[in-house]
Amino acid sequence: MKPQAKPAAEAKPLAEDALHPLLLTQADLGSGYVHVQEDSSSGKFDDVSVQGCPSLEQLGQSGEVKMFAAKAETSFTYDRDATLGEELHSDRPSVLSSKLRKLFGAYTSCPTYTMTAGTTPIEVKVTKSATPDLGDEQFAYTSTMELPSGAQVLKTMAVRKGNVAVMLVGAPALVDRHMKTAVGKLPATG
């Protein structure tokens, strides 16, 4: 009888400074995109709460601000009113997989919920979305928020490739158009 082969060791997370060169750039996206500088310390989500979706409420209460070992992010506007945000996360593949499943599972567990930003209640409708056949795992949903200025539709899609996951959030057409490019910038997995 042959000895059993040991399972391959899981890839370690990349450091944050190794993620930055993998982010999309204006050159990757083409004309019409403007890079947006964001102040990450502004606490822009401090006064946002969720009602009517227990799994999302629980996710918010668990305070998983730092879900993964490393994170890098960037965002762009297109044609002045459309946005595209990108987050890269790195961790061991099993951790990325289980936490992305939990995150996307929570967001797609309730077809509707209410999000309160400050004192303004916003009705949100969520539907699961199709994903392209990229990377090792894919997750996507589309949310429609009923804002005082009208409905805003955002698509959130994540693709995990080994120990890195790319997440795009923004106008559905922009997310669909640029996901393949974003995944193409990730390192090859061995």
Mean pLDDT over residues 56-84, rounded? 83
pLDDT over 70 for what percent of the chain? 87
pLDDT at 67: 79
pLDDT at 47: 72
CB–CB of 139/104 below 8 Å? yes
Tokens at residue 97, please?
Answer: 């997989």
Tokens at residue 183, please?
Answer: 């995944």
pLDDT surpasses 60 at 81: yes
Mean pLDDT over residues 168-189, rounded? 94
pLDDT surpasses 70 at 13: yes
CA nearest neighbour of 66 among 87, 94, 35, 44: 87
What gap in Å lies between CA 157 and CA 179, rounded to an integer? 8
pLDDT at 8: 61
CA nearest neighbour of 36 among 72, 74, 71: 74
> Residue 2: which pLDDT band, with cuts at 50, 70 and 90?
low
Structural domains in the chain?
16-37+45-184 (3.40.1000.70)
DSSP letters, 28-42, are HH-TTEEEE---TTS
CB–CB of 135/183 below 8 Å? yes
CA 31, chain centre distance (Å): 23
pLDDT at 38: 66
Q: What is the pLDDT of residues 29-45, one digit of tens each?
A: 999 999 997 655 444 45
pLDDT at 62: 60
Q: What is the pLDDT of residues 126-178, one digit of tens each?
A: 999 999 999 999 999 999 999 888 999 999 999 999 999 999 999 999 999 99
